[in-house]
Structure 1
């Protein structure tokens, strides 16, 4: 559906339809667009009184509907809400009519273990179920949360590493200046920001030779000078939208899924599947350490805490310090 089809003050966001009007509180619609319930909800918002539908039956479907109206959900970051919705739909599909009051700890464990072959899905669904059942407790439907304390499936987590320089060079060859894939990489490496913040960047964010960034996850405000490699990519980019990274038509920002799929094709082409988009953030932090920057200078660019700077740069930091140590060792032998 296009904006022209939507009623006044109604806008489509990534996780649903919202009523947005200057001076009014933004509200997410609960009903599906075009249904009688939607128009009733729309009319009630305009009249200044939003109805709260009564839950007539205790089911996961009703619990999820109630959770969507709660502050636990409405205060989530848009990206997090989008992730949660995927798992909430899964719960509704597999146990929508079941009564959450009857769910026991063994049922939670069984649900987790049924997806053991997909540990990320199993663990994330457990986290969302824990939040959902906590809302069930808040409603007074049950006394305790059976998902609380249930452990996640243990996985061997492979440490993420920055892209090797030779792979970055191959990526630049495969994606010349002027391509969206090249611009995405230069933005991530050049600013050290998460891809979620990069796809939100606008041309108007470029101020005084740098990017003015407000991080979605932390809320931190940063100003990051533009490197020559990034400036070359920006100069070669088309400007058909307020966003720097745009969709194929150049009318709106490039979606997270779109960027990930496009970059994965290049990674597959140059045999770089062990290194993903987030690894570019590691490249930025590691390049700063290799340049001799301390933790405070690295954090000034990436916006990370001191602990996260240490985590992202531990491999290159060990290498830099080992080189320094061996040089000192050699000099000592020569002096002796």
Structure 2
């Protein structure tokens, strides 16, 4: 479509057609050019000529504000949204007045490398910036995303998470009386095999017919998980003054992740279990199910994990079990 075919102040961008006029906010047309709907949109924009207009400064501050109003941001999971907010605020602080249309690939790489000593932060910032600049393209402020294709930093390989050894689980139980929140959160994590976020969201109304109903926040899967005796003992003595099973210190609302993590860490320090954290309890659940003879489908029925994640969580225990079987077969063959 040639420019001369378009009406005054209307321009074609790579991702659509926009009304762009000095002193006016840029607006993207929702209808195809040439349709009756398009011309109604165009007339509606021009009819605002006598109305006071707010000129939007095309800087990162305005881009971030607009992004936070978009479905792309509003549809993020709550925990992901909190993580994004940290990096969005970081961008606002360091380049809030800068024009995102002038950002180049070299600038993205320079920003990434300025945090090379914090590889996780640098890589997460890059992911958020990539999304933010894609929104900038959608607004018609620029034609391409300079963060697309920029590789993440290679970080040192993290120590793989493992399930708590049995002796440390025993030590944890010994350090935390049955009626404490620290004991209850552990029994819920180990007993149900769920992520800590889903455990903290559990309500008393979720318990039904000797099991707990779970709707996983990450996958939206619905699971009905029977309650183990160890967990039932902790539930029997827990306070029921709130709708949530795990509550804050006042017993009035849900226990926060930060509060639960800090309380559990204090116990881990006392018993020498700093190498094992809250998330490792999900590994315990999967591994205990495997050791009990459950196949991957039965493990997934409790944890809600994909086949690949079941394999990942149980890889070391699975290797030990199969190695024992292999050596037994080897020994039997020699004495046949």
Same fold (TM over 0.5): yes
1:319 to 2:320 alignment: yes
1:56 to 2:47 alignment: no
CA contact (8 A) 1:137 1:144 kept: yes
Cα deviation for residue 225 of structure 1 reads 0.3
Cα deviation for residue 55 of structure 1 reads 5.7
Deviations 1:120-149 (A, max 9, x none): 111111111110011001111111111111
Match of 2:264 in 1: 263
1:130 to 2:127 alignment: no
1:95 to 2:95 alignment: yes
1:34-53 maps to which residues of 2 (within 5 A)? Answer: none
Cα deviation for residue 240 of structure 1 reads 1.4
Match of 1:112 in 2: 112
Query: Aligned partners of 1:109, 1:271: CA distance in 2, in Å?
Result: 41
Secondary structure at 1:273 match in 2:
coil
Deviations 1:139-188 (A, max 9, x none): 11111111111111112122111111111111111112111111111100
Match of 1:17 in 2: none
Secondary structure at 2:314 match in 1:
helix
Cα deviation for residue 333 of structure 1 reads 2.9
Match of 2:194 in 1: 193
Query: Aligned partners of 1:258, 1:118: CA distance in 2, in Å?
Result: 25
Cα deviation for residue 332 of structure 1 reads 2.8
In the alignment of these two chains, the number of paired residues is 283
CA contact (8 A) 1:190 1:284 kept: yes
Structure 2 residues not aligned, in runs of 5+: 1-52
Match of 2:159 in 1: 158
Secondary structure at 1:224 match in 2:
strand
Match of 1:330 in 2: 331
Query: Aligned partners of 1:236, 1:113: CA distance in 2, in Å?
Result: 52
TM-score, normalized by length of structure 1? 0.82
1:182 to 2:183 alignment: yes
CA contact (8 A) 1:162 1:275 kept: yes
Query: Aligned partners of 1:326, 1:54: CA distance in 2, in Å?
Result: 76
Query: Aligned partners of 1:277, 1:100: CA distance in 2, in Å?
Result: 40
Query: Aligned partners of 2:69, 2:145: CA distance in 1, in Å?
Result: 20
Match of 1:6 in 2: none
1:249 to 2:250 alignment: yes
CA contact (8 A) 1:285 1:312 kept: yes
Match of 1:217 in 2: 218
CA-based RMSD: 1.2
Match of 2:26 in 1: none
Query: Aligned partners of 1:273, 1:320: CA distance in 2, in Å?
Result: 27
CA contact (8 A) 1:55 1:62 kept: no
Deviations 1:77-110 (A, max 9, x none): 1111111111111111111111111111111111
Match of 1:12 in 2: none
